[in-house]
Amino acid sequence: MSVLVVTGTDTGAGKTVVGAALAALARSRGASVAVVKPAQCGVAPGERGDMDEVIRLSGVQTTFELARFEQPLSPAAAARAAGVAPVSLPRAALRIRELAESTRLVIVEGSGGLLVRYDEDGATIADLARLLGAQVLVVTKAGYAAVNHTALTLEALAHRGLDLAGVVIGRWPDEPGLTARSNVADLEMLAARPLAGAIPEGAERLDPDAFEAVARRGLAVTLGGAFDPAAFRASFRV
Q: How far is CA 220 from the centre of its chain?
A: 14
Q: Is the pLDDT of residue 44 over 70?
A: yes
Closest-CA residue to 190 (of 144, 149, 234, 233): 149
Q: Residue 19 — very low, low, confident or very high, per pLDDT cuts 50/70/90?
A: very high
Residues spanned by the domain of 21: 2-234
pLDDT digits 0-9 by tens, 155-194: 999 999 999 999 999 999 999 999 999 999 999 999 999 9
Instruction: Provide the number of structural domains found in the chain.
Output: 1
Burial-class residue 220 by CB neighbours within 10 Å (0-12, 13-18, 19+). buried
Work out the average pLDDT over 58-67: 98
pLDDT category, 140, cuts 50, 70, 90?
Answer: very high
Query: How many angstroms separate the CA atoms of 57 and 171, rounded?
Result: 16
Task: Give the N- to C-terminal CA distance of the chain in Å, as an integer.
Answer: 41
SS3 182: helix
Q: Looking at residue 178, what is its pLDDT?
A: 95
User: Which pLDDT belongs to residue 84?
Assistant: 97
Query: What is the pTM (predicted TM-score) of this model?
Result: 0.97
Q: How confident is the model at residue 1 (pLDDT cuts 50, 70, 90)?
A: low
Mean per-residue pLDDT, 6-34: 97
Query: Which residues are known to be catalytic?
Result: 37
Torsion of CA 165, 170, 176, 182, to 10 degrees: -30
| Residue 236 pLDDT grade (very low, low, confident, very high; cuts 50, 70, 90) | confident
Give the integer Cα–Cα distance in Å for 137 and 141: 13
Task: Report the pLDDT value the prediction gives residue 16, as an integer from 0 to 100.
Answer: 98
Confidence of residue 82 (pLDDT cuts 50, 70, 90): very high
pLDDT higher than 70, residue 132: yes
- For the segment 25-36, the average pLDDT, to the nearest whole number, is 98
Classify the phi-psi angles of 29: left when phi > 0, otherwise alpha if psi is within -120 to 50, otherwise beta.
Answer: alpha
User: Which CATH number is 133's domain given?
Assistant: 3.40.50.300
With a pLDDT cut of 70, the percent of the chain lying above it is: 100
135 close to 4: Cβ distance less than 8 angstroms: yes
